[in-house]
Amino acid sequence: MQAIRNDFEASKFVAYVEGEVAGSLRYQIRNGQMWLLEMDVDRRRKGRDLAGQLMQEALGEACQRRLAVLPLCNEARSHILAHPRFLRLVPSERRQRLAKYAPNVRKRARGRAGTVQRGATARIATVPHSREDGKAA
């Protein structure tokens, strides 16, 4: 059995499989926007599409709360580009920048298919942390 929960205090969506943490999507909410920062999924659970389920949960939450979405990690950008109905959540000035990632996202997806990666967990992306004045670094 698996479940996705929003851990509000930790600002992340957490995927559980058979009672164990199997993945998470870290986010930050600022000025009416949900910044999707970092995806972390246990490679042993890869066939369950946990990354996709975490993204669906996050994007559904953003829709419900009427938040714009800034996909700052590769997995978030890939998911939104693969599901264009979510593009409306991305602010219009950011959509053009997002479109520039489309060719790179496809190349990376093809490149990963034939490679073997070490370690039980894959860290997909990171983002610059915010400065003290609240702006992104």
Give the pLDDT score at 102: 65
Q: Which residues contact 46 (CB under 8 A, 6 or more apart)?
A: none
pLDDT tens for 3-56 read 999 999 999 999 999 999 999 999 999 999 999 999 999 888 777 789 999 999
Count of residues in the chain: 137
Ranges 78-82, 106-110, 125-129: which has the least confidence: 125-129
Give the pLDDT score at 132: 45
Question: Alpha helices of the chain — where are they, by DSSP H?
Answer: 50-64, 74-82, 92-113
Please answer whether residues 4 and 40 qualify as being in contact, where contact means their C-beta atoms are separated by less than 8 angstroms. Answer: no
Give the pLDDT score at 63: 95
CATH architecture for segment(s) 2-114: 3-Layer(aba) Sandwich (3.40)
Q: Mean per-residue pLDDT for 118-129?
A: 37
CA 44 to chain centre: 19
pTM over 0.85: no
pLDDT at 92 over 70: yes
Find the angle CA(44)-CA(23)-CA(119) to the nearest 5 degrees: 40
Share of the chain above pLDDT 90, in %: 55
Give the pLDDT score at 131: 41
